[in-house]
Copies of this chain bind each other. A is one copy, B any other.
Amino acid sequence: AAAARTAAGGLDLAVIGGDGIGPEVTAQALRILQAALVAEGRPVAEVTDYALGADHYTATGQTLTDEQLAALRRHDAILFGAVGAAPHDRAVPSGLIEREILLRLRFALDHAVNLRPTRLYPGAVSPLAEPGEIDFTVVREGTEGPYVGNGGSLRSGGEHEIATEVSVNTAHGVRRVVADAFARAAASPRRRLTLVHKHNVLVHAGRLWRRVVDEVAAEHPEVDVDYLHVDAATILMTTDPARFDVIVTDNLFGDILTDLAAAVGGGIGLAASGNINVAGTAPSMFEPVHGSAPDIAGTGTADPIAAILSAAMLLEHVGESAAARRVRAAVWSHLEHRAATGAEVRTEVVADDVLARLAG
């Protein structure tokens, strides 16, 4: 899936640190990404920084220009931190930054698959009493559903207001994410795929999702398929997370389930994700599931692991599997150490420790 490499043969990466803790964790993830490439005898990546986010918007009135989008398209991949103003920043309309940067990138770069693995790392503290072995992946649709921005309001602001939001689901969009999920399930040792939807209420979208899953399932007799309503899925994710292998679901259900998954899987500080352009027509983008966390920005206490694991997903995606494995192994070893020593999380200290373990 990697696009053309730079002249020197290295990766050509775009980096969007964003706001709050975004730049803090991204800087560390980048250090580790480069070190892993070097350790594997690979050329370092060429990096282009894009100043985007709430701060940039406040300074310039711009979110993401067409020129910036065109420039971003030319990279091999994008490493993304987090965007979003502090909730009480009245200068930035609520949600604007998220929609005009993050969601615009996902849609414009056709990130069909929003890939969100959850794994309980050694020593990671799940809020669950007996979490069992947690190792599943949510394959979330990334470009459709209630995220399309197809809403409106009539008689806004008055007592007769009606506000609507339309979830749009296409066979094209559903098929590509379902196909991706089946391919992952077929490659996993447990070969299990769970469709999560709410087809007893969302009849039309639900029927489309089920039909496509049935069709793709016929090509994958080796994969065990089941179905859960989204409400029931939250119960099982809390009481029996070990039952899950690959989950495929729509954009909004995936958003909700993956935050819950992060919580049961040791916290949002460890949750990585990839926004994948499955057709290879534009760069994929890798980002921690967490947001810009303005409340802890500048304190040096943001956990960079989610960003580092997102960088590992990026490496895997562009074909640098050895470097990706190296990063994951170092993170694993770091988290074992963290659990054993009870060391508090400091952004740089964590990254330094992961870096030290990279060479090993």
Contacts and interface: CB of A to CB of B under 8 A. Distances in A.
A202 B259 CA distance: 18
Interface stretch (A8-16, A161-169, A182-190, A346-354): A161-169
Interface in A141-199: 146-147, 149, 151-153, 155-172, 175, 198-199
Interface in A213-270: 227, 230-232, 234-235, 238-239, 252, 255-260, 262-264, 267-268
A70 interface: no
A319 interface: no
A202 B161 contact: no
A238 B170 CA distance: 33
Given A98-B200, A200-B95, A171 B167 contact: no
Interface residues of A, number: 68
Could you tell me the dominant secondary structure of chain A's interface residues? mixed
Interface stretch (A31-39, A49-57, A204-212, A322-330): A204-212
Interface of A: 87, 94-95, 98-99, 103, 126-130, 146-147, 149, 151-153, 155-172, 175, 198-208, 211, 227, 230-232, 234-235, 238-239, 252, 255-260, 262-264, 267-268
9 contacts: A146-B146, A151-B203, A156-B208, A164-B204, A198-B255, A234-B256, A235-B260, A235-B263, A239-B263
